[in-house]
A and B are shown apart, each in its own frame.
Chain A
Amino acid sequence: MSPRPPTPVTKAEIVAEAKRLGAVLVGFAPVGRWAEQGDLSWEFDPQRLWPLTKTVIAIAIPSLLPVTETRISPVYRAQYTNTNQLLDEIAYRLSAFLSRQGHAAFNICRDGYGEGVMKIRPIAVFSHVWAGHYAGIGEVGWNHCLITREFGPRHRLVSVLTALELEGDPMVEEGSLCNKCQRCQKACPTQAFSGNRVKDRRSNMNKFACFSRREKFKTVQHCGYCLKVCPVGEDRKLYQSPKVNHYFAERTALFAENNVPLDPVYPLKL
């Protein structure tokens, strides 16, 4: 049983299908960029995961700023869950779109871990952040998130691996989005980031420190300070929230009173 011959598919058609399925940012990374750029070890090269990979299609959808600003809250958690499900569906259906036309493709789920696994191995099978970097939809910033022109680091990512060769999108010029202001480092409740902004391209990140916070807030999990304080992103203008310094003042105010840190908006012990 041999498959039908492949039908030609253009980048424009793939982008249109991805957007029809709900994608907002879509970029294409030729697989050679992983080795050329040398940011990751061979273990995390897409061809290690699937030797036939020729192109990685990176897809992002935004995390909405006013929700992200609520930091540890049920609405933030709900946004996280909903965007994850949508991303997985987009990437799965885009893989089916390519495979049914004779171009082998499959989706790598958004960062997925079984509960408690991050305590022993806080690394995902594949870095969607670096895929987004090589696909030109943003650059990896000081906080190890993909910083995009549209949403800063406030988005979620997923990837499709395909055996179809496609022209890569131009990568974002280094330093053009993240100027290493280090607000993420200052805001991080776990001091997960460290480094020298003159010498280092991006911070050192202690993932165990970062994930320790998720363990602490089991029911509402996600922290996201390093996302909300980032001044980059056209979403700041859209949501009329251009300034970031009040985030720092808020934290001080919440912790000041009798050392009983209650959030008046979401009455949840911090």
Chain B
Amino acid sequence: MPRTVLTNTEIIAHARELGAEMVGFAPVNRWDDFAEVSPEFRPRAIWPLAKTVIVIAVPLWLPIVEAAPSQLGRELYIITNELLDEAAYRLAVFLNGHGHAAINLPRDGQGEPEVLAETPTAIFSHVWAGQLAGLGVVGRNRALLTKAYGPRQRLISVFTDLELEGDPVLTDDWCGDCHNCETICPPRALTSPPGKRLADFNLAACAGEGKRLRAAFRNPCGFCIKVCPVGEDRQLFGCTNTRKYFDEAAVLAANPHAPEYQDWLHIRKYGGFPLPEDPISIR
């Protein structure tokens, strides 16, 4: 198949046509240069022909994320996952059609939640790929923080043998010392050792909570992404007060009809099973 020249701009335009909101390019040598990901999870270890990783992101809507756990949130998770998988697959086929070998990696996928207990790592980290492709920076909660949506997006990657110019890796440090993600996490899966920028992550604890919510059709949890003050979406959706998440339990315990929380309570109430063991605000 003849190789047709493709520019970053043409690839971005096609990815956007397929539903991508954010697109970034990372030359594979960056995994060696930055050395944040262990060697067996670097692109060339997974597929030796890889020259560039194209990372795609689509947003999660803050008004749904902050109402979690809810069935509506679960559906948003499913919709974005399906869209990402299709966009990445079709982008790989588009590249192949121009003579450039390409494969899509699935968005983070594990079979049943139990799989995480045995193999607590995905095949490839889209989060680190997103940082190396200049889409954002990895935050304390180990999610990718972007300027537009903070940690509220889903990610996927396409590997190609086409050499493309990389986007500049961001040097901004949006993730400060607020520790909101760590404080709010219901199963206490995040703990920051003193002086470390990224939290240690207890994936088994996180997965256990996911499993519990999934049984009620109300996964994922996403508390660590709702509380993050980073992201222009906070202003766009008019949700700038992150204190509200921490005050919720006490306010609702005193008054279950507190008007400022009725939208979340409504969203939690329908489509999934109640969670009787939880505080009134979550149930």
- Chain A interface (Cβ within 8 Å of chain B)? 1-4, 43, 48-52, 85, 88-89, 92-93, 95-96, 99-100, 102, 104, 106-109, 112-117, 120-121, 123-125, 163
Please measure, in the bound complex, the distance between the C-alpha atom of A108 and the C-alpha atom of B80, giving whole angstroms. Answer: 13
Q: In residues 85-132 of chain B, which contact A (Cβ within 8 Å)?
A: none
Point out the residues of chain A lying under 8 angstroms from B270, CB to CB.
Answer: 121, 123-125
Query: Is there contact, CB below 8 Å, between A109 and B238?
Result: no
Point out the residues of chain B lying under 8 angstroms from A121, CB to CB.
Answer: 269-270
- Chain B interface (Cβ within 8 Å of chain A)? 19, 21, 58-59, 61, 63-64, 70-72, 74-76, 79-80, 82-83, 147-148, 216-218, 230-233, 235-238, 262-263, 266-267, 269-273
Please measure, in the bound complex, the distance between the C-alpha atom of A85 and the C-alpha atom of B79, giving whole angstroms. Answer: 8
Query: Is there contact, CB below 8 Å, between B232 and A89?
Result: no
Q: List 21 A-B contacts (CB under 8 A).
A: A1-B232, A1-B235, A50-B63, A89-B19, A92-B76, A92-B83, A96-B19, A99-B59, A99-B233, A102-B236, A106-B237, A107-B61, A107-B76, A109-B75, A112-B72, A114-B74, A115-B217, A117-B271, A117-B273, A125-B70, A125-B270
Query: Is there contact, CB below 8 Å, between B235 and A112?
Result: no
| Residue of A whose beta carbon sits closest to that of B174 | A1
| Residue of B whose beta carbon sits closest to that of A122 | B270
Min CB gap A156→B, angstroms: 14
Can you add 15 more A-B contacts, CB < 8 Å, to A1-B232, A99-B61, A117-B271? A3-B148, A3-B232, A43-B266, A48-B263, A89-B19, A93-B19, A106-B237, A112-B72, A114-B218, A117-B272, A121-B269, A125-B72, A125-B266, A125-B269, A125-B271
Q: Which among B79, B148, B269 is the interface contact of A109 at CB below 8 angstroms?
A: B79
| Residue of B whose beta carbon sits closest to that of A1 | B232
Given A96-B21, A113-B71, A125-B271, A104 and B237 contact (CB-CB distance below 8 Å): yes
Point out the residues of chain B lying under 8 angstroms from A112, CB to CB.
Answer: 71-72, 74-75, 271
Query: Is there contact, CB below 8 Å, between B71 and A114?
Result: yes
Point out the residues of chain A lying under 8 angstroms from B266, CB to CB.
Answer: 43, 48-49, 125
Query: Is there contact, CB below 8 Å, between A88 and B271?
Result: no
Q: Which among B64, B70, B230, B271 is the interface contact of A106 at CB below 8 angstroms?
A: B64
Please measure, in the bound complex, the distance between the C-alpha atom of A52 and the C-alpha atom of B233, giving whole angstroms. Answer: 14
Point out the residues of chain B lying under 8 angstroms from A96, CB to CB.
Answer: 19, 21, 58-59
Q: Which among A3, A43, A92, A99 is the interface contact of B79 at CB below 8 angstroms?
A: A92
Min CB gap B259→A, angstroms: 9
Please measure, in the bound complex, the distance between the C-alpha atom of A2 and the C-alpha atom of B232, giving whole angstroms. Answer: 6
Min CB gap A252→B, angstroms: 37
Min CB gap A177→B, angstroms: 28
Query: Is there contact, CB below 8 Å, between B273 and A1?
Result: no
Please measure, in the bound complex, the distance between the C-alpha atom of A104 and the C-alpha atom of B148, giving whole angstroms. Answer: 12
Query: Is there contact, CB below 8 Å, between A106 and B61?
Result: yes
Point out the residues of chain A lying under 8 angstroms from B21, CB to CB.
Answer: 96, 100
Q: Which among B61, B70, B238, B262 is the interface contact of A95 at CB below 8 angstroms?
A: B61
Please measure, in the bound complex, the distance between the C-alpha atom of A48 and the C-alpha atom of B19, giving whole angstroms. Answer: 29
Point out the residues of chain A lying under 8 angstroms from B231, CB to CB.
Answer: 1
Point out the residues of chain A lying under 8 angstroms from B75, CB to CB.
Answer: 88, 109, 112
| Residue of B whose beta carbon sits closest to that of A44 | B266
Min CB gap A213→B, angstroms: 20
Query: Is there contact, CB below 8 Å, between A109 and B262?
Result: no
Query: Is there contact, CB below 8 Å, between B217 and A49?
Result: no
Query: Is there contact, CB below 8 Å, between B71 and A106?
Result: no
Query: Is there contact, CB below 8 Å, between A117 and B58?
Result: no
Q: Which of B21, B147, B270, B272 has the most CB of A within 10 A?
A: B270
Min CB gap B36→A, angstroms: 25
